[in-house]
Amino acid sequence: MTWPCKHGERSPGRHDLVFVSPAGWRAMLEARSDLATDVLVARWSRMGWPAIRRRALPCEEAGLALGLPLPPSAGKKRISLLVDIGQVASVARPPSLRQARAYAPRNWWPTLDRLDRLELRHSVDARVFGSLAWQSLTGLDYVTDRSDLDVLFEFRRETDVDRFVADVAAIEIEAPMRLDGELMRADGAAVNWRELHGGARELLVKSIESVILLDRNRFISGARGS
C-alpha cells in the first residue's frame, strides 16, 4: 500500500502509533459489530488514544492495518482494525525511555536509566513498546509482576551492533524484569536483539511487509532479502 507522505514524513512502520480521526473511529467500529458493546474500545475512541501499526493479513487489501492491545483486566485481547488512510490524523514513534519512566514500577527505574545512558553511548534511539508503552499512553494498568520490558533499539551505521547487544545483555543480568525487544534498522527491518547476541548466522528479520531469514552481516549492513 502506498502511503501519501508529506515532505519529511515516512510511511508508518511496525510499532508506530497511529492516531485516527473521530470519523475514522466511527467507521472502524461500524465495520466491527462485535465491538459495539465493548465499553473499553468505546473509551479508546472517545479519548483519542492511538492504535499500533501492524502487518496486514493477506485478506486485508484495503486500508491501513492497525492493532489495539487491551490491558490484562480485559483479558489482554488483541483487536485487529482497518482504517482508511484519509482518516489517519497523525503518526508517532513509540514512547522514549524517559517518557515512559514515570509510568514504570519504581524497581524498573535503574534499568531504564542504564538503558538511557547506553542509548547515548552507542548512537541508538531506544523506544518502549508493549505493556509499559501502553500504560504510559493510556494510564491503564498494563504492567504486571510478570511483564517484560520491551524496547525497540534503532541503530545507525556507526553503531557497533555486537558490542551494543553485549551491553544490553549485561544490563539484563541485574534487571528485575526480562529485557525483550528488537534491534531495528532505519528502514524498519528488525530482529530480536537476543537472537543477534546469540551469534546466529541467519536471523529472523521482520518488517511491515514480511518476515524473512537473512544473513546477520547482510542485516547489519542494510542489505534487503530477496
Which grid coordinates are listed for 165? 547487544
Q: Is 148 a catalytic residue?
A: yes
125 is written with which cell numbers? 534511539
The three grid cell numbers given for residue 86, joined into one nine-digit string: 484519509
Measured distance CA(90)–CA(83) in Å, rounded: 13
* Number of CB atoms found within 10 A of residue 96's CB: 15
Cβ-proximal residues to 13 (8 Å cutoff; 6+ apart), any chain: 53, 188, 207, 208
Cα 76 from Cα 204, distance rounded (Å): 26
The single residue of 116, 148, 180, 215 carrying the catalytic annotation is: 148
187 is catalytic: no
Is the Cα torsion angle 67, 212, 180, 182 positive or negative in sign? negative
**Sign, Cα dihedral of 20, 25, 26, 27:** positive
Nearest by Cα to 100 from 121, 89, 116, 82? 116
Cell of 57: 493479513
Q: Which residues are catalytic?
A: 148, 150
